[in-house]
Structure 1
């Protein structure tokens, strides 16, 4: 008799958001953000808007109860400095989120924190443009403990947050909304 493994929340999110994630990646890469410093500046402006939008989540006590060192994980100040390094004006980022219910907020954080894994490849591409973790690409830097260790710790908090079974779909909806929001920002910044 075989037993079907139950997916963790993070695994379920990955499976449920695959298409939304792929759409975002295709939108960004089609804009060739690493072909020039100018294109990268547009990418950084998109990242600024995204991190501005989600910055209030990093100050929420209810989320910090589940995600270790949550306030320190925010990359908003780093991307703000990146734009200053590049001489790119701060874009109008729109209204930030913050008052999302816990399940949706966890979905948004999954997207933002998960982007740090892929940022390892993006940082290497930015370095070919003469940018670095100290100039212009700070927001792409890995966590001090390393990207993989950071992601494992984040997933442990995400997976361990006690939610009602009916709230799992709301976590997924939050993550899909975050991917779609980021895609809309990318379309606007690269238009």
Structure 2
């Protein structure tokens, strides 16, 4: 007898992944079309995109309601590492700009943005290996892509377990999906601006 139980319904994080697949896939292809590992200069443009996105969401890591729902949230912020990577690559920080997030962002919408940020951290482990070809790594130029000491997959599972446990109505879940899609679209806009 098989004792492995399969959930009857996909988890919230699985539903977010399915609902944002098209937007996410389009962004990934757009970034890779820029051949970001052809040179350090091209990789630096990608890091500028990362910086702009993470600057947008920096305030979310200190929102008390989010911190209460997502244990260890504050420690997941990577903006400082990205800024250090830009310095290593002899790049100035992108000019200050208004955040792409709404001023009074609702919690479900914010969860969608954080889902994208944490997903990029998981996917970053693949990019980290590719960055090594440019002589970049955890101590120089690509620290923000390095896996968490606990392991990228475990770190992701901890986040998604907390995300999946947040009580949301169907309408709020739709807001989270819209938040994630908005985050992907924002990053896509930054790619278009940085790779001109």
Q: Is the 8 A contact 1:58 1:64 kept in 2?
A: yes
Q: Is the 8 A contact 1:50 1:93 kept in 2?
A: no
When the two structures are superposed, what TM-score results if normalisation uses the length of structure 2?
0.93
Q: Which runs of 5+ in 1 are unaligned?
A: none
Q: 1:65 to 1:183 in 2, by over 3 A?
A: same
1:51-130 to structure 2, matched below 5 A, reads 51-92=54-95, 94-96=97-99, 97=101, 99-130=104-135
Query: Which residue, 37, 42, 59 being the options, matches 1:34?
Result: 37
CA distance in 1, matches of 2:33, 2:95: 23
2:3 aligns to what? none
Q: 1:4 to 1:82 in 2, by over 3 A?
A: closer
Equivalent pairs counted in the alignment come to 189
Query: Which residue, 158, 169, 193 being the options, matches 1:188?
Result: 193
Hey, which bits of structure 1, 4+ residues long, moved more than 3 A?
none
CA positional deviation for 1:186: 0.8
Q: Which runs of 5+ in 2 are unaligned?
A: 1-5
Instruction: Quote the RMSD (CA, aligned, Å).
Output: 1.4
* 2:175 is equivalent to residue 170 of structure 1: yes
Query: Which residue, 45, 48, 67 being the options, matches 1:45?
Result: 48
CA distance in 2, matches of 1:83, 1:27: 21
